[in-house]
């Protein structure tokens, strides 16, 4: 299998430094480049002035060191390396000395980038030796090659593009990387030499992460390490690979030998994010120079980046804070709408399932925040043909414990009359049989809301909207839906958290609800056994939420979604189960858009929303043929 579409393997490498010994440094660098090739790395960065060492001080202006660095660079050009790489050295250009990064691929020098901002305070005094990069000429002859020079260079091989900034350039108010990224660079490499101080490392990582987020780019940082002079300073040799605010990989600092960090950067996602943003390139520079280069093609079936199987669900350390924030967003949204329509009452159907439990808990949270009388929150159970005793009893218990007004309105008689009116055979358990019940329940909720002057609350979620797993003008419709952008995999954690906040007898009821199989309960049970299990029909919601997140977050298509899902779930689902769920997801996502086009108001709580008034504007009659062709291609490979 080819490497996953749009992923570029990148390395930040820190060689052990041999101060003022360029040939020894080249040997360290070549060994790291061999390791880069073994891992199918496409882009690698080394630290600032790595060919001689950053702390050579006044030796930097002496001819033996300068000529030794040139010889070392020439040696590097002869190395049989597939990766494009960037190394640092001092270069004399037009009679002036510059702190430079040199980009190389396939023995060709792609360009020279002189450092723009030279620190000259506290422990740094580069201005003692170097000139600022803006004073350099636009080209030079280096190792027998005529090459471009400047901070305005973007190197582009088609698969990816990159620009270079050096150390201090990142720390200034307007880093060169911003201009380079707006001009087309998808990756930034930073050859650096930043010494260690207490707390400095955390700030450095925050800078890198924030800059990669602002620039919607991959960011490779390689800092000078072991072997640099410790006369006054210590260099930890930090190497990190970042993408759009996220650290993908980093080495262990203070290593006494060469080390590196390697990860796959999703440049396809970065391109998607930039297309999605309408402000990203508004101030793009006009005068950047694009340097084209070619790179040998190679493939790899591994994925060197962590891919969460539950992308909507925060990690354990953040989960409670995130769930509390979601409840605050939901409750604030509901209270604002209730205030606007001058009511302190709300009505919802409570089935004893996950979605209605979350809506009930979130609404109760809102009522408590506002000090509204809890009897103004009306929960209605509406047992029908497929309602089980477990879900019904859980619904009744939960409402009693919360203290809201509880109503039980069986729908069997009304639905039977409706079947008689339209000539529906009650033994024919088809779509009309199921949807009639859903619409009857919605009618009851709406009418009771009208009776008391309250809002009819929806209980559907983001996952159901994506798949269209709801009845049009039934549970698809409401007067307001707090959970419209909350996916099924996250709802489980929200319900557990909200139930835990209430404590006491609520907790075991909530745990039993969480343990209940997901079902619409529209078909009568057989011998007490649940007839409908949603995930038996659709496939696992964990898979559907995974597909939804990556399709909306990065534009990932089936050819990318499938291998990413395999890597993320790591054997939890077999290949055929993933493919079957993917086919279902693509088919239903396209055919069910008409339900989303008419969805009621509801707050956006996370990065993914399908509201037709905001994040997702798609024609209801769009065709899925291009996406299905990719699914079929995957199916043929596994047939």
Give catalytic residues, as residue numbers.
48, 115, 167
Phi-psi map region of 122: left, alpha, beta (phi>0 left; psi -120 to 50 alpha) = left
Cβ contact 244:67 at 8 Å: no
Beta bridge partners of 263: 10
**Maximal C-alpha separation, the chain:** 100
DSSP 58-103: GGGGSHHHHHHHHHHHHHHHHS---SEEEEEEEEEETTEEEEEEEE
Instruction: From 349, 601, 344, select the one nearest 453 (Cα to Cα).
Output: 344
Cross-strand bridge partners of residue 111: 103
DSSP structure string for 439-507: HHHHHHHHHHHHHHT-EEB----HHHHHHT-S-TTTTT--SB-TTTT--HHHHHHHHHHHHHHH-TTHH
Sheet holding 246-250, edge to edge: 246-250, 239-243, 218-223, 187-192, 161-164, 153-156, 289-292
Cα–Cα distance between 548 and 153 in angstroms, integer? 37
Token pair 């890198």 in the structure block, residue: 208
Q: What SS3 state is found at 26?
A: helix
Measured torsion, CA atoms of residues 220, 226, 232, 233, in degrees rounded to the nearest 10: 30
Query: What is the distance, to the nearest Å, from the Cα of residue 380 to the centroid of all Cα atoms in its chain?
Result: 38
Residue 524 corresponds to which tokens in the numbers above?
A: 């009568």
Q: How far is CA 501 from the centre of its chain?
A: 29
HSE at residue 262, side-chain half, CA atoms within 13 A, is 22
Give 528-572 as a DSSP string: TB----HHHHH--HHHHHHHHHHHHHH---HHHHHHHHHHHHTTS
Contact 218, 193 (CB under 8 A): no
């Amino acid at each position: 299998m080819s490497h996953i579409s749009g992923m570029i393997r990148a390395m930040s490498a820190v060689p052990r430094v041999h101060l003022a010994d360029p040939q020894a440094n080249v040997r360290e660098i070549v060994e790291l480049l061999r390791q880069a090739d073994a891992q199918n790395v496409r882009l690698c960065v080394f630290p600032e002035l790595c060919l001689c060492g950053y702390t050579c001080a006044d030796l930097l202006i002496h001819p033996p060191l300068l000529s030794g660095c040139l010889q070392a660079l020439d040696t590097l050009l002869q190395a049989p390396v597939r990766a494009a790489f960037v190394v640092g050295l001092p270069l004399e250009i037009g009679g002036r000395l510059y702190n430079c990064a040199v980009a190389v691929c396939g023995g060709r020098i792609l360009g020279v980038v002189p450092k723009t901002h030279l620190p000259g305070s506290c422990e740094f005094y580069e201005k003692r030796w170097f000139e600022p990069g803006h004073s350099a000429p636009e080209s030079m002859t280096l190792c027998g090659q005529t090459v471009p020079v400047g901070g305005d260079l973007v190197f582009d091989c088609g698969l990816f593009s990159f620009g270079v900034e050096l150390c201090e350039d990142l720390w200034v108010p307007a880093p060169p990387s911003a201009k380079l990224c707006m001009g087309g660079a998808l990756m930034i490499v930073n050859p650096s030499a930043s010494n260690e101080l207490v707390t400095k490392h955390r700030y450095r990582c925050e800078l890198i992460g924030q800059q990669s987020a602002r620039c919607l780019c991959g960011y490779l940082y390689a800092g000078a390490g072991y072997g640099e002079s410790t006369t006054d300073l210590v260099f930890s040799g930090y190497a990190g690979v970042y993408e759009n605010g996220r650290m993908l990989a980093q080495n262990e600092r203070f290593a006494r030998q060469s080390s590196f960090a390697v990860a796959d950067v999703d440049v396809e996602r970065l391109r998607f994010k930039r297309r999605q943003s309408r402000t990203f390139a508004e101030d793009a520079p006009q005068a950047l120079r694009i340097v084209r280069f070619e790179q040998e093609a190679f493939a790899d079936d591994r994925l060197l980046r962590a891919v969460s199987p539950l992308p909507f669900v925060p990690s354990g350390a953040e989960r409670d804070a995130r769930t509390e924030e979601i409840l605050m967003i939901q409750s604030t949204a509901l209270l604002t709408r209730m205030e606007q329509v001058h009511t302190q009452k709300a009505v919802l159907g409570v089935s004893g399932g996950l979605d209605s439990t979350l809506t009930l808990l979130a609404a109760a949270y809102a009522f408590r925040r506002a000090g509204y009388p809890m009897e103004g929150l009306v929960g209605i159970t509406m047992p029908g043909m497929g309602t089980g005793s477990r879900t019904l009893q859980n619904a009744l218990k939960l409402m009693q414990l919360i203290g809201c007004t509880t109503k039980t309105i069986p729908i069997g008689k009304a639905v039977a009359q409706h079947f008689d009116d339209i000539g529906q055979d009650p033994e024919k358990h088809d779509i009309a049989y199921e949807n009639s019940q859903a619409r009857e329940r919605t009618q009851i909720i709406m009418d009771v809301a009208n009776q008391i002057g309250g809002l009819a609350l929806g209980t559907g979620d983001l996952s159901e909207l994506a798949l269209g797993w709801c009845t049009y003008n039934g549970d698809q419709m409401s007067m307001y839906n707090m959970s419209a952008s909350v996916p099924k995999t996250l709802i489980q954690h929200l319900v557990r958290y909200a139930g835990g906040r209430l404590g006491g007898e609520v907790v075991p009821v909530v745990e039993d609800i969480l343990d209940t199989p997901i079902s619409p309960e529209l078909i009568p049970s057989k011998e007490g056994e649940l007839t409908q299990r949603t995930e038996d029909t659709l496939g696992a919601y964990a898979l559907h939420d995974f597909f939804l997140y990556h399709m909306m977050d990065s534009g990932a298509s089936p050819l990318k979604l499938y291998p990413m899902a395999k890597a993320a779930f790591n054997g939890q689902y077999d290949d055929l189960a993933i493919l079957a769920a993917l086919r279902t997801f693509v088919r239903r996502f396209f055919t069910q858009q008409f339900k989303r086009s008419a969805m009621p108001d509801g707050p956006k709580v996370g990065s993914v929303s399908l509201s037709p008034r905001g994040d997702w504007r798609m024609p209801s009659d769009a065709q899925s043929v291009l996406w299905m062709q990719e699914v079929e291609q995957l199916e043929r490979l596994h047939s």
